[in-house]
Structure 1
């Protein structure tokens, strides 16, 4: 009988641990949320007002890149560029769109032949971005966020 009582007392004392409520701090919840948070994806991509009629996320992204590429292409076509040899180059632009909708050229990967033939190519690219229509920033969880992306631009001068 003593053994059974001792056994029941031990079980009662150790089982109290199962009834303790674990408190979770707000920092622990935040850290857990940040670990599951996908930093490389947004809910809505940056857009122009002419892309408002498009409904799907991928179509909006495509609309945005098409308008941006087309605008840069048209701007460069309007410039008088004189070269001594033909140029066929793909320029990779790294762009940043702030949470206020301001676009910035972070870097451009331009071939040395293109820079030799068009020394002001970076200035032309920056000026083409300055004349863009209003950009609506990307949205992540209901907040406007800063985004960066790469955009290839094909330059062909004959």
Structure 2
């Protein structure tokens, strides 16, 4: 009986550390959370109202990019672009969609050949994308965020 009482007393004395609470700092929790984020991915890509019916994340991105390209192609088709040789090249548009849904072209990267054949291509691209429908910004952890991406535009003129 004395041994059982001694064992119980030892267990009680040794288990006090079990009930000891550690102090948790909010700064530490925030740091840990920030480490788990993938800052290069969003939960939802920017979108147009016409893409709302699309459910998957990748399909929404494709819908957004295809809508942008369709608007660009329709507007460029209305322009009178004259070239001396056939053109088949790609222009990279670096685009930013702000957390407020504002569209901005940050840079236009095109080859020297395109610039020689179509010197005003930069201003044409900017003007063609001036009147876009309402853009809904990207979402990350239930917050609207600014996103930046590159949109490749294939230029084919015969």
TM-score, normalised by the number of residues in structure 1: 0.86
Structure 2 equivalent of residue 133 of structure 1: 133
Uncovered stretches (5+) of structure 1, i.e. residues with no partner: 1-7
RMSD, aligned α-carbons: 2.0
* Equivalence map 1:65-80=2 (5 Å): 65-80=65-80
Structure 2 equivalent of residue 146 of structure 1: 146
**Distance in 2 between the 1:19 and 1:55 partners?**
48
Per-residue deviation at 1:16?
6.2
**Distance in 1 between the 2:130 and 2:99 partners?**
17
Per-residue deviation at 1:21?
2.1
**Distance in 1 between the 2:120 and 2:25 partners?**
55
Runs of 4+ deviating beyond 3 Å: 14-20
**Distance in 2 between the 1:29 and 1:75 partners?**
50
* Equivalence map 1:45-84=2 (5 Å): 45-84=45-84
Which shifted more, 17-26 or 47-56?
Answer: 17-26
Helix, strand or coil for the counterpart of 2:61?
helix
Deviations 1:74-98 (A, max 9, x none): 1111111111221111111111100
Per-residue deviation at 1:148?
0.7
Structure 2 equivalent of residue 5 of structure 1: none
Helix, strand or coil for the counterpart of 1:130?
coil
Asked if 1:115 corresponds to 2:102, the answer is no
How many residues were matched structurally? 150
